[in-house]
Amino acid sequence: DPDSKITLSMMPYDWFEASVFYTNIEGRPSGSGFRQDYKDKGFNAKFRIKSEGYFPAIALGFHDIGGTGIYSSEYIVGSYGINNFDFHFGLGWGRLSGGDLQFRNFLADLDKSFLYRNSKTENGGEFRINDYFSGKKVGAFGGVSYVANEAFLLKAEYDSTEIPLNQGFPDRSSNYSFGIEYINSPNLSVALNYERGDYYGVKFSWKSNFKEYKHPSFTNNTKSFKSPYEK
């Protein structure tokens, strides 16, 4: 609460992931003269800049690119797997700069402009390049997942997301979330989550490789077609 979100994610390359989301924020007026809740849409992107090897894999990500800025954030994250465990740790800017593990934006040592981030969230459709990796604070986040068996995956994470209360989001009781996910299916996974000390959530995920789909072949029959005017 108060938002409901649907996300479509795609991986055209093994180093690039893109997604588009559509959100309904309950209780916030649309502002367009219609008597309905506020609607928001945006795009996310993640780029793998290093594969896992002796050192962790590293990825660079962007949330809400060109959107209204309600979910706008950037992050850099590292992940590393050991046996049945998979760990990740990252640093976030924008909406990911919350939590208890905050510190000064170190990029300000390169340029003071990194300390300023546009706080307006009304106008979408613009790429706020000047806001990327900007803001006074940087937040740390992390998590771990454990493959218990062929059927279940256990997860725990520390979440640094900070959504302003004036956007209609309630204050959280905790920065920690826990989940259990059923993974014993080639395409469908179902997860039950306990989020931020206040909410239970259910997630359904369906995955598929579109390269495996084959459309039916079409035969050109124009040569066999005979016009009624043809002798």
Interatomic CA distance for residues 212 and 2, integer angstroms: 38
The pLDDT assigned to 38 comes to 67
The pLDDT assigned to 44 comes to 92
The pLDDT assigned to 36 comes to 59
The tokens for 110 are 């390169």
Amino acid at 188: L
State the pTM of this model.
Answer: 0.78
Interatomic CA distance for residues 169 and 165, integer angstroms: 5
Exposed/middle/buried for 14, CB within 10 Å: 0-12, 13-18, 19+? exposed
The tokens for 230 are 């043809």
H/E run at residue 199: strand 199-206
The pLDDT assigned to 4 comes to 77
DSSP 182: E
The pLDDT assigned to 96 comes to 94
Interatomic CA distance for residues 179 and 159, integer angstroms: 13
How far the first Cα of the chain sits from its last, in Å, is 72
The tokens for 231 are 């002798």
Instruction: For the chain, 231 residues long, give each residue's pLDDT as a single digit of tens.
Output: 667 788 889 998 999 999 998 877 766 655 565 565 667 778 899 999 999 999 999 999 999 887 667 788 999 999 999 999 999 999 999 999 998 999 999 999 999 999 988 766 555 556 778 889 999 999 999 999 999 999 999 999 999 998 767 666 777 889 999 999 999 988 899 999 999 888 888 888 888 877 776 666 655 555 554 555 555
Question: Among residues 134, 10, 3, 17, which one has the least CA distance to residue 73?
Answer: 134
Q: 204 CB contacts (<8 Å, ≥6 apart)? A: 188, 189, 190
The pLDDT assigned to 172 comes to 82
Q: Measure Cα distances from 186 to 151, 180, 189, 203, 207 in Å.
A: 11, 17, 8, 16, 8
Q: 103 CB contacts (<8 Å, ≥6 apart)? A: 137, 138, 140
The SS3 call for residue 62 is strand
* Cis-peptide into 228, omega within 30 deg: no
